[in-house]
Amino acid sequence: MRKTRFALASLLAAVVMALVATPAAAQASTTSELINQLNGKLLYVAIPITVLVEVILLYTVIKFRNSERALPTKENRRLEITWTIATAIILLFVGVASYGVLANEDVTYQGNEIDAAEDPVVVTAEAYQWGWNMYYPEEGNFTTGNEIVIPKDRPVYFQVTATDVIHGFHVPELALKQDAMPGSTNTIRTVANEEGTYQGYCTEYCGVAHSQMYFTVEVVSEEEYQNWLDEQQSSE
């Protein structure tokens, strides 16, 4: 029974390692941080399982390569209990880890209310065939065409909508993705951590110029953002 105990122990060790490990790499937004960390944790569990299964498979293929016919294994209750418990532990871990991320407001934002207490930036992203109009409804509703400018380290809400057909709002590096639907508004929330310019795409096929529906998200310092706002408002 040493083998089954060893297998159970290594699986448990993998789960514990995944719980403790937090990749320290800087992420562009709170959303991408949450998603990439979950991805890393699940990988810590998936890799040992893959290795274990492949090793058992190869061992079996080599050991029984000369067998004439398959023989049933003797019942081994301890082995069955072991793999049932091990699977339950792994699935429980995957469930708990995923739920913590999926339920986070920066991954799946629920509802359309905006919490004014956190002093957020609100951007309305309105898609049309074929382009974007980005509005700043809290700042006089000026529009910047297909360009978004947001300050870093401050919550940003994107209210995603469309005027004609279904489009998709997607900024891969900030891990933002939401459907743009005519007649309704889907809100997503994030906090950008790093200054820079990020490319945005339409990710729902919407006609001949779908592939040209680009936009940019520029993340700047709070001070630069205020200057930019003043400029936009005075040129209105």
Q: Residues interacting with ligand CUA, by CB under 6 A? A: 127, 130, 167, 202, 204-206, 210, 213
- Among 87, 96, 104, which residue's Cα sits nearest to residue 41? 96
Q: Whose Cβ is closer to ligand CUA: residue 83's or residue 205's?
A: 205
Q: Whose Cβ is closer to ligand CUA: residue 154's or residue 177's?
A: 177
- CA angle centred on 96, ends 173 and 115, rounded to 5°: 55
Q: Whose Cβ is closer to ligand CUA: residue 18's or residue 213's?
A: 213
Residue type, 199: Q
Cα Rg of the chain, angstroms: 25
Closest approach, Cβ 162 to ligand CUA, in A, equals 8
Closest approach, Cβ 174 to ligand CUA, in A, equals 19
| Residue ranges with strand state E in 163-195 | 167-171, 176-180, 186-191
Q: How long is the chain?
A: 236
Residue 170 near residue 158, CB atoms below 8 Å: no
Q: Whose Cβ is closer to ligand CUA: residue 38's or residue 202's?
A: 202
Closest approach, Cβ 188 to ligand CUA, in A, equals 17
Q: Residue holding tokens 């065939």?
A: 129
**155-186 residues labelled b (16+ CB within 10 A) or e (exposed):** bbbbbbbbeebebbbbbebbbbebbbbeeebb
Q: Whose Cβ is closer to ligand CUA: residue 105's or residue 179's?
A: 179
Closest approach, Cβ 149 to ligand CUA, in A, equals 21
Residue 29 near residue 175, CB atoms below 8 Å: yes
144/77 Cα distance (integer angstroms):
67
Closest approach, Cβ 125 to ligand CUA, in A, equals 11
163/150 Cα distance (integer angstroms):
23
Closest approach, Cβ 121 to ligand CUA, in A, equals 24
